[in-house]
Amino acid sequence: MKHIAVLASGQGTNLQAIIDAADRKEISGKIVVVISDHADAFALKRAKNKQIEAHFLDPSLYDDRERYDLALVAKLRAVETELVVLAGFMRLLSPSFVEAFPLRIMNIHPSLLPAFPGTDGMKQAFNYGVKVTGCTVHFVDRGLDSGPVILQEAVPVIQQETLATLEQRIHAAEHRIYPTAIDLFCRDKLKVVGRRCYIVD
């Protein structure tokens, strides 16, 4: 059973979806630690409620992003992390962190990448006036939301939709596909060739 570490900065709704899927035996892996860069992140409480190891790693104790990330890597290696899952982790990862876990870091983004990368992808899509948007699970590389796509789910934008209602429906899609992508990784069902990520038997 693969060891999963989750990095989260805020409420941790995707973390909760992952925890719930693991409880239902829909993920062939175990969450061994949750780490946040915010002491008051509700994600830490979600972890503690399930007796999952939870830590606040204070960025102010480190001189720069590189040193913080090296400390983060050390904590993840201490629990033999095999997959790093970003669940609303609002810090850009340094190249050193990405190199420590090549093709072993997953992120979810609230748009159909490569459209609308970066912050506020959902709002960007909504303001652009797209008819279809959605969410994307991808591996993290050195670029911004540029790693190989693992899974996507399209979400149509309904006429007279508000950003708030669209957000609810995209979050529901995220909670479906993120646990699925994690389970595929844990069962060694993902193979990356160049930019393409294949699901293998």
Region 80-86 average pLDDT? 98
Q: What is the pTM of this model?
A: 0.95
Q: Which band of pLDDT confidence, cut at 50, 70 and 90, is reported for residue 201?
A: confident
Q: Which band of pLDDT confidence, cut at 50, 70 and 90, is reported for residue 113?
A: very high
Q: For each of the domains in the chain, give its residue range(s) and CATH number, in order of start.
A: 2-199 (3.40.50.170)
Cα separation, 184 vs 178, in Å, equals 10
Q: Which band of pLDDT confidence, cut at 50, 70 and 90, is reported for residue 66?
A: very high
Residue 166 near residue 133 (C-beta atoms within 8 A) = yes
**What DSSP string runs through 68-130?**
HHHHHHHHHHHTT-SEEEESS--SPPPHHHHHHSTT-EEEEESS-TTSS-STTHHHHHHHHT-
* Mean of pLDDT over the chain: 96
Q: Which residues are catalytic?
A: 109
Q: Which band of pLDDT confidence, cut at 50, 70 and 90, is reported for residue 145?
A: very high
